[in-house]
Amino acid sequence: MANVTVAEHVQASPEKVWEVIGKFDAIHRWAPGIKEAKTEGTGIGALRTLTFNGGGSITERLVSRAESPLAYTYAIERGDLPVNNHISTLMVVDHGDGSCTVSWVCTFETKPAANEGEVRQVFGDFYRNSITSLKKRFG
C-alpha cells in the first residue's frame, strides 16, 4: 500500500475552515481543478462524482464523519485514476489559538500498469494545491 500525507497550518479557526471543507458535496467550491461535484444520497454512504477541469471523473463514497477532530473519510469507488483500494481522510485539527492544521491523508494500491511514484505525486499535488487555495481564502 502506498500513502500520501499533506498537512498545512491554516490561520483560521477550525470551525471556519470546516464550514468550507466539511461539506462532502461542496469540494468543487474550494479545491482547484474540480469542475463539478454531483452527489447522490446524504450522510454515510453518499456518493459524489467529481468531474475534473482537464477531463475525467471519479466517484467517491463517504465512509465516515467525525466531530472531534473534524474529519471525514471517503473511498474511491470507480474512476479514471489508476488505483485500487483507495481511502482518504480530510481532517481539521484545532490548535486552540484560532488556527488549525488541515491534514489530507490517503492510502491506495496502484493498478499494475501504473507508476506508484507518479500516482503519489498526483495525489500530493492535488492535496497541496487545495490546501494552499484554502489558506489564501483565509489570508
Q: pLDDT of 20-68, one tens digit each?
A: 999 999 999 999 999 999 999 999 999 999 999 989 999 999 999 999 8
In which domain, by residue range, is 106 found? Answer: 2-137
pLDDT value, residue 139:
77
> Strands, E, within the chain: which ranges?
2-10, 34-40, 47-52, 57-67, 70-79, 83-94, 100-110
- Enter the C-alpha cell of residue 33: 481543478
pLDDT in tens, 105-115: 999 999 999 99
Q: Tens of pLDDT along 114-126? A: 999 999 999 999 9
Q: Which amino acid is at 70?
A: L
Query: Which amino acid, one-letter code, is at 106?
Result: C
Q: What is the CATH number of the domain that holds 108?
A: 3.30.530.20
Q: What is the domain count for the chain?
A: 1
pLDDT of residue 27: 96
